[in-house]
């Protein structure tokens, strides 16, 4: 696959990931307003699928790009940093998903929801900054 196609698929994955974060925020706000809301329950599967597909394709095509572009290496600080941040973001996303498992019976730990969602936004924002500014790269 050529560079342009890899970059297209990678950035498409990144957009998908960011879209899922927006959905997770909407779900959190809906649940805070009304714990037994059906709206949140119906948005949840979409958010989960976008999160998984976006996250996986950003990772796979990101690593592929790092190998493909001779200027970069997998061991560059900003690439390693992205992989570490990706693992952190995945763990937070997994926590959020698990927290919504019993959505509908109002049992979501709401005090922690704001913090985990804040950390999710922060980790994806740091990933994006790392991608755009590529600290340490030529
Ligand atoms: C998880 C590991 C990741 C790796 C190894 C990785 C690696 C890369 C590489 C090598 C490029 C090519 C840069 C170029 O062509 O100059 C790139 C571009 C880009 N990545 Fe990632 N990426 C990862 C995750 C992400 C995530 C999660 C996002 C979104 C939040 C993201 C957003 C972008 C964007 C917007 C670009 C285009 C910016 C540019 O080329 O200047 N990446 N990435």
DSSP secondary structure, 107-138, as one string: -S-HHHHHHHHHHHHHHHHHHHHHHHH-TT--
- For 105, the enclosing helix (H) or strand (E) is none
Write out residues with Cβ below 6 Å of ligand 1.
Answer: 7, 10-11, 14, 17, 58-59, 62-63, 65-66, 69, 72, 79, 82-83, 86, 124, 127-128, 131-132
Per-residue pLDDT of 94-131, as tens digits, reads 999 888 877 766 555 565 788 999 999 999 999 999 99
Q: CB of 121 within 8 A of CB of 29?
A: no
Which portions of the chain are predicted below pLDDT 50? none
Ligand 1 centroid, distance to 101 Cα (angstroms): 31
User: Does residue 68 sit in helix, strand or coil?
Assistant: helix
Tell which atom from ligand 1 comes closest to the C-alpha of 124.
30
Other C-beta atoms closer than 10 Å to the C-beta of 85 total 20
Q: Give the rounded distance of the alpha carbon of 37 from its chain centre.
A: 24
């Amino acid at each position: 696959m050529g560079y342009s196609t890899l970059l297209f698929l990678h950035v498409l994955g990144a957009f998908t990931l960011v879209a899922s974060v927006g959905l997770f925020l909407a779900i959190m706000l809906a649940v805070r307003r009304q714990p037994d809301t059906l709206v949140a329950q119906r948005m949840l599967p979409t958010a989960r699928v976008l999160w998984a597909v976006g996250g996986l394709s950003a990772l796979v095509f990101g690593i592929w790009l790092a190998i493909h572009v001779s200027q970069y290496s997998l061991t560059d600080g900003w690439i390693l940093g992205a992989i570490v941040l990706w693992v952190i973001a995945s763990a937070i996303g997994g926590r959020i998903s698990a927290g919504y498992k019993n959505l509908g019976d109002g049992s979501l730990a709401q005090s922690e929801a704001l913090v985990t969602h804040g950390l999710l936004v922060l980790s994806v924002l740091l990933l994006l900054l790392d991608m755009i500014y590529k600290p340490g790269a030529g």
